[in-house]
């Protein structure tokens, strides 16, 4: 049986000056007589004959190699391998062997040079819903001001931190978390291992979630205003942490002065056909504003308007640019429902405008991280480089949910095997370059989903498996606030409970696991930069290895009963001295002995 081994990292891909050397390993019988590399030069397919090396990298392994010039052509180098015999051919791609040539976007891809933000893959993110993370004292009167929430038709509710969250007035209930509270908790986050923050919206808005923006150029007084954000920005710099904001550019709130449904000013688009901002929204022939998904408080922005384009992203002091400049100097944007942004009340010319947002951000801050929110397939935007990465629901969260908690995003049953889970994950990332895979935003849950702990139900013992997976799969891990201490919760609003700062209410064993894995990732180049090869995926067990040069990290996930797994003679695992870093599994020769419902991590050099 013939086997092939290649990952788009060293030792299989190495660079020296303007030359890129690509190597394929083969094991087994019936070796090909020729191997060629299918590559591209300015989108034109080329074939380069590979040379079989005289010296084998390991006994029983043949190595085929070719060198590419990288002084020309596009930075994204897509390639696959064509294996030839006198009477037949086969192709090798990230998803294995094929008897026919692969599609262009189903091949190996490596970015040389890599123009994306270099800092992202080395980070551990922490997502904060500002009202529910930490409350500072003392407070200004504006922070606890009761006001009429027009969209909800009621006054907002202020609750004490330890009051239970109820379904009443979900968008109008405040617990008083703020930006100074986040700043005061940075030592806790640093001890957790966090070195980057993503904040849900912080700009002026009437709701607790603040996706109904009222002013894109001011921080909400409830969160402490502009000065509190500056204090947090300075504190994160001193702590070595990056800070990413949430950009809600698909729609505004209906209380924004641009729209002004509630007639708090003059000249808003809602009631004035002659408004300077009338063209910034779309209206039906009857004069009704087109909104986002039936929420009348969220009128859609219409990017047919050149002046809106200037205001949001293109202008020299556009909203996108403003917060990336001094004194703010934020590190990037997470773009809310960005796939729906566009013209005419819909998503027309979406890719053009998303790319424009990204381009404006990069012109202002070259290392800005542009992260798109996509519950569906994000590869269209990523393959066009309109975004650096996406929230990896489709490529990580959902297959993990299906495998460990037997459910999908709709709450419908979805019970899959290990093989299906790995085919799903591998298929998704095969369409992305290696560097894009490393920047994908991996989460177990978020403010838009139930907490993963709650999804597990009676299978709560599987929670540590998911945490190990989060820190070891390609991509940047993001912890949704409170997950690390066992916070639970159903769908919104219950997934947005206040953080339990009382230590008697925290799962300290789970917190310790998060801290250990954060340290392990910080110390491991394979986990941050390495390629990933699935070695075994059957029934209840997933085993994969992360590879960086001669370093390896082996991860085994077992959702079922205690078992033994024979990995076979993989050249990626040979001649290594393995050390158990996490869990209680055992590795002897090519056999893993795994406890029931367990996750284990080994490393080797």
Whether residue 414 is predicted with pLDDT greater than 90 in this model: the reply is yes
SS3 91: strand
73 band by pLDDT with thresholds 50, 70 and 90:
confident
CA–CA separation, 283 vs 263, rounded Å? 18
pLDDT of 72 higher than 90: no
pTM: 0.97
State the CB neighbour count (10 A cutoff) for residue 413: 8
pLDDT in tens, 268-297: 999 999 999 999 999 999 999 999 999 999
Tokens of 458: 């009676």
Q: What is the pLDDT of residues 251-274, one digit of tens each?
A: 999 999 999 999 999 899 999 999
pLDDT at 9: 97
Classify strands 125-128 and 476-480 as parallel, antiparallel or unpaired: parallel
Position 236 scores a pLDDT of 98
Q: Report the mean per-residue pLDDT for the chain.
A: 97
Half-sphere exposure of 19 toward its Cβ, with a 13 Å CA cutoff?
5
The catalytic position among 131, 336, 343, 483 is 336
**pLDDT tens across 133-191, in order?**
999 999 999 999 999 999 999 999 999 999 999 999 999 999 999 999 999 999 999 99
336 an active-site residue?
yes
Q: Cα separations (Å) of 32 from 21, 29, 89, 199, 327? A: 20, 9, 9, 53, 60
- Strands, E, within 340-386: which ranges? 369-372
Q: Is the pLDDT of residue 241 over 90?
A: yes
Query: Are 299 and 254 spatial neighbours (Cβ–Cβ below 8 Å)?
Result: yes
- Give me the residues paired with residue 15 across strands: 20
Which of 373, 388, 483, 582 is catalytic? The answer is: 373
Containing 108, the helix (H) or strand (E) segment is strand 108-111
For residues 123-138, give the mean pLDDT.
Answer: 97
pLDDT tens for each residue of 17-47: 999 999 999 999 899 999 999 999 999 999 9
Classify residue 18 as left (phi > 0), alpha (psi -120 to 50) or beta. alpha
pLDDT digit string, tens, across residues 422-469: 999 999 999 899 999 999 999 999 999 999 999 999 999 999 999 999
Dmax (CA) of the chain: 82
Give one DSSP letter per residue of 510-568, joined into a string: HHHHHHHHHHHHHT-HHHHH-EEEEEEEETTEEEEEEEETTEEEEEEEE-SS-EEEE--
Alpha carbon distance 344, 223 (integer Å): 34
- The confidence band for 71, taking pLDDT boundaries of 50, 70 and 90, is confident
Nearest C-alpha neighbor of 475 from the set 536, 389, 603, 379: 389
3 state SS of 159: coil
124 close to 113: Cβ distance less than 8 angstroms? no
Cα 111 from Cα 114, distance rounded (Å):
5
What average pLDDT score do residues 221-247 get?
A: 98
Instruction: Label residue 386 by pLDDT band (50, 70, 90).
Output: very high
**Which tens digit of pLDDT belongs to each residue from 288-341?**
999 999 999 999 999 999 999 999 999 999 999 999 999 999 999 999 999 999
Tokens of 37: 């590399």
CB 244 within 8 A of CB 334: yes
pLDDT at 104 over 90: yes
Rounded distance, CA 344 to CA 369, Å?
28
The reply to whether 178 belongs to the active site is: no
Using alpha carbons only, what angle is made at residue 543 by residues 542 and 547, rounded to the nearest 5 degrees?
140
8 A C-beta contact, residue 203 and residue 210: yes
């Amino acid at each position: 049986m013939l086997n092939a081994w290649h990952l788009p990292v060293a030792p299989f891909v190495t660079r020296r000056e303007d030359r890129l050397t690509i190597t394929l390993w083969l094991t087994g019988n019936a070796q090909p007589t020729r191997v060629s590399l299918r590559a591209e030069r300015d989108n034109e397919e080329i074939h380069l004959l590979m040379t079989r090396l005289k010296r084998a990298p390991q006994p029983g392994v043949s190595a085929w190699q070719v060198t590419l010039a990288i002084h020309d052509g596009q930075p994204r180098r897509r390639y696959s391998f064509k294996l030839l015999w006198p009477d037949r051919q086969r192709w090798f791609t990230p998803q294995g062997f094929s008897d026919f040539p692969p599609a262009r976007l189903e091949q190996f891809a490596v970015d040389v040079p890599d123009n994306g933000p270099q800092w992202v893959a080395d980070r551990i993110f922490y997502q904060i819903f500002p009202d529910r993370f930490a409350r500072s004292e003392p407070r200004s009167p504006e922070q606890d001001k009761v006001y009429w929430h027009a969209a909800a038709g009621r006054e907002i509710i202020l609750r004490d931190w330890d009051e239970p969250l109820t379904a009443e007035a979900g968008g109008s209930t405040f617990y008083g978390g703020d930006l100074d509270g986040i700043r005061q908790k940075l030592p806790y986050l640093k001890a957790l291992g966090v070195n980057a923050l993503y904040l849900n919206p912080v700009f002026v808005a009437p709701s607790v979630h603040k996706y109904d923006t009222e002013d894109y150029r001011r921080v909400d007084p409830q969160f402490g205003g502009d000065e509190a954000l500056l204090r947090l920005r300075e504190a994160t710099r001193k702590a070595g942490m990056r800070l990413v904001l949430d950009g809600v550019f698909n729609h505004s709130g209906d209380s924004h002065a641009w729209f002004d449904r509630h007639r708090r000013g003059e000249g808003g688009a809602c009631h004035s056909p002659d408004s300077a901002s009338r063209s910034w929204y779309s209206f039906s022939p009857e004069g009704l504003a087109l909104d986002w998904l039936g929420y009348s408080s969220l009128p859609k922005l219409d990017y047919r308007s050149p002046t809106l384009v200037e205001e949001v992203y293109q202008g020299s002091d556009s909203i996108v640019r403003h917060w990336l400049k001094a004194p703010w100097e934020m590190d990037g944007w997470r773009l809310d429902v960005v796939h729906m942004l566009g013209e005419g009340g819909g998503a027309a010319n979406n890719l053009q405008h998303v790319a424009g947002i990204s381009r404006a951000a990069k012109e202002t801050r070259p290392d800005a991280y542009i992260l798109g929110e996509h519950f569906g397939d994000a590869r269209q935007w990523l393959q066009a480089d309109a975004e650096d990465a996406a929230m990896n629901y489709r490529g990580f969260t959902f297959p993990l949910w299906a495998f460990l908690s037997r459910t999908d995003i709709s709450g419908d049953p979805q019970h899959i095997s290990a093989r299906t889970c790995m085919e799903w994950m591998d298929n998704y990332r095969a369409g992305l370059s290696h560097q894009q895979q490393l920047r994908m935003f991996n989460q177990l849950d978020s403010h838009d989903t139930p907490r993963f702990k709650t999804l597990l139900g009676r299978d709560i013992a599987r929670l540590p498996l998911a945490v190990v997976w989060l820190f070891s799969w390609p991509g940047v891990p993001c912890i949704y606030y409170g997950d690390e201490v066992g916070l639970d919760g159903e769908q919104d609003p219950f997934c947005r409970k206040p953080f339990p700062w009382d230590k008697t209410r925290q799962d300290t064993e789970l917190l310790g696991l998060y801290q250990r894995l954060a340290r392990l990732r910080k110390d491991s180049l394979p986990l941050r930069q390495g390629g990933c090869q699935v070695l075994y995926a059957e029934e209840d067990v997933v085993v994969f290895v992360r590879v960086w040069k001669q370093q390896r990290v082996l991860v085994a996930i077992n959702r079922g009963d205690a078992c033994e797994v024979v990995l076979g003679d993989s050249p990626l695992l040979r001649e290594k001295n393995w050390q158990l870093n996490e869990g209680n599994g055992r590795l002897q020769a090519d056999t893993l002995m795994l406890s029931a419902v367990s996750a284990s991590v080994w490393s080797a050099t």
